[in-house]
Structures are given as C-alpha cells and as structure tokens.
Structure 1
Amino acid sequence: MLLRIHHAAIICSDVERSRRFYTGVLGLQVIGEHFREARQSWKLDLALPDGSQIELFSFPGAPPRPSYPEAQGLRHLAFEVLDVEATKRTLEAQGVEVEPVRVDEYTGRRFVFFADPDGLPLELYEAAPPNQVD
C-alpha cells in the first residue's frame, strides 16, 4: 500500500544554478550530493520540512523539457504553503517571476505558478484551514 510521495526527480541543465534556486530561493535543505563518474552526472538530494525529497540530477546534453503545448506526463510539481500571497511576494523579492494568484474552483484555495531555472512549472498551493479535511 502506498504511504506518501517520497521524492520527485528533476533533471536540470546547470546543477549549481538549480542548487542556488532550490536551496537559496525555495529553502530546501541539502541532505546528500554525489557525482556519478560513469554518467558524468551530479545527484543532489534535497529535503522539504515534512521529509519529502527532490532528487536534482544533471545529465550532459539532456534536451529541454517541452512545456507548451502541454505534453503527456508529469505536468508540474506543487508545494503546499500556509500563505500563497506572502510566499509569492517572497519569491518576487528574490527576482522570481510569479503568475497572478488564482483560486481553485473546487477547493476554494489559492494557488500560483512559477518556474525553476530550466522552466519546470512549479506551483504554490495553499494549505487547507485546520478544520477542513481534503
């Protein structure tokens, strides 16, 4: 039986630029880093406060991810936050372009999209009020 999502794997074009973004801008913690000689590839393990992880990989010559038109497969990665507006302002103060805040028509919660340095779509999704069950 599935318990939760353990990690999401992301392939980046520049591991140092992505490290700065995911740790410096988004605040994830580095929990491991390995250079895989046989693949000429870095693997950087990053943790969120709840223990979920992002594996950040670099592969020489990896093609860019098509975002438009939207292709089949993983559409975006969403992070839960307590206050979408406040987090949006924090990102914008660090030079990140963030789309306008929208409201989920089914849950009534606010959300917003932005992109990582390689254009991967990322989302901020507001946590449910304490008395609301998803």
Structure 2
Amino acid sequence: MQLSAIHHVALICSDYERSKRFYTQVLGLRPLAEVYRQARRSYKLDLALPDGGQIELFSFPDPPPRPSYPEACGLRHLAFAVADLDACVAELQAHAVAVEPVRIDEYTGRRFTFCADPDGLPIEFYER
C-alpha cells in the first residue's frame, strides 16, 4: 500500500451555518460543492484545502456531543501549516476567535497555537 496524501477530513457540526461561516469566512476555505441530502436531513459541504485535500462539513440532526477536550479517543485535533503564525493569529483575532498563547514545539523548535471551531474541535496552526 502506498498512501500519498490525506484526501479529506470529515467534520460533523451542530450548527451548519455557523460552522460554514467559520470555515469559509474565518479560515478562508473555498467551497467546492454543497448538497442537501433529504433522506439524511443533512447538508454536506466540500471545502478545498490549498494542498488539494478537502474538509467535508456535515450537518446531522442531533449529533452527540464530543466526549471530552481534547484527549477523547479518536480525532484529537485538526492541524494546518501556516507560513506566518503571527499573521494567522492576528487574522483569527480580527474575527473575534479566541487563540491560545503561542507555544514552541519542544522537538522541532517550531511555533504553534490552537483555537477552537464553533463546536469546540481544537484546531492547530503550525508555523512551517
């Protein structure tokens, strides 16, 4: 088996319009396709990542809450590489997004920080 990249990450949100605004207007991801699936009473929005990968944003009626933050079994956080962490933090703060203090990765020496999406999913921004 030769895996070449992550194709997509699927996220289920509690408030579709709020999450759609966050991922498109705050993070600046470009919508590729949006459909409403009547049988599931669910929206699905495909968002383009700069490297060709995608985020699939889903809405479902009454999804269960995330078990704990952030050490629940399963996806711990979503991480994006950024060229300029200070500019990233300033842009997030301009959108009134709370950002944790910048930290240094003890193994790589790189700077990173976290914020949360509208459902509390931790999102990391890692400076290249």
Normalized against structure 2, the TM-score is what?
0.96
Q: Which runs of 5+ in 1 are unaligned?
A: 128-134
Aligned in 2, Cα 1:69/1:30: closer, same or farther, shift over 3 Å? closer
Q: Which residue of 2 aligns with 1:122?
A: 123
Q: Which residue of 2 aligns with 1:99?
A: 100
Number of equivalences: 127
Task: Name the aligned partner's letter for residue 95 of structure 1.
Answer: A
Structure 1 CA distance, aligned partners of 2:20 and 2:94? 18
Q: Which runs of 5+ in 2 are unaligned?
A: none
SS of the aligned residue for 2:88 comes to: helix
Q: Which residue of 1 aligns with 2:90?
A: 89
Q: Which residue of 1 aligns with 2:76?
A: 75
Structure 2 CA distance, aligned partners of 1:100 and 1:39? 40
Aligned in 2, Cα 1:100/1:69: closer, same or farther, shift over 3 Å? closer
Q: How far off is 1:71 after superposition?
A: 1.1
Structure 2 CA distance, aligned partners of 1:24 and 1:68? 25
CA contact (8 A) 2:105 2:111 kept: yes
List structure 1 segments (4+ residues) > 2 angstroms apart after TM superposition. 66-69
Q: How far off is 1:93 after superposition?
A: 1.1
Q: How far off is 1:66 after superposition?
A: 2.5
- Residue 25 of structure 2 corresponds to residue 24 of structure 1: yes
In percent, how many aligned pairs have the same letter?
Answer: 69
Q: How far off is 1:63 after superposition?
A: 1.2
Q: How far off is 1:62 after superposition?
A: 0.2
Over the residues paired in the alignment, what is the CA RMSD in angstroms? 1.0
Structure 2 CA distance, aligned partners of 1:43 and 1:18? 12
Normalized against structure 1, the TM-score is what?
0.92
SS of the aligned residue for 1:91 comes to: helix
Give runs of aligned pairs for residues 3-14 of structure 1, distance below 5 A: 3-14=4-15
Q: What do residues 70-109 of structure 1 show as CA deviations (whole Å, max 9, x unaligned)?
A: 2111100000000112101110111000000000001100
Structure 1 CA distance, aligned partners of 2:87 and 2:101? 13
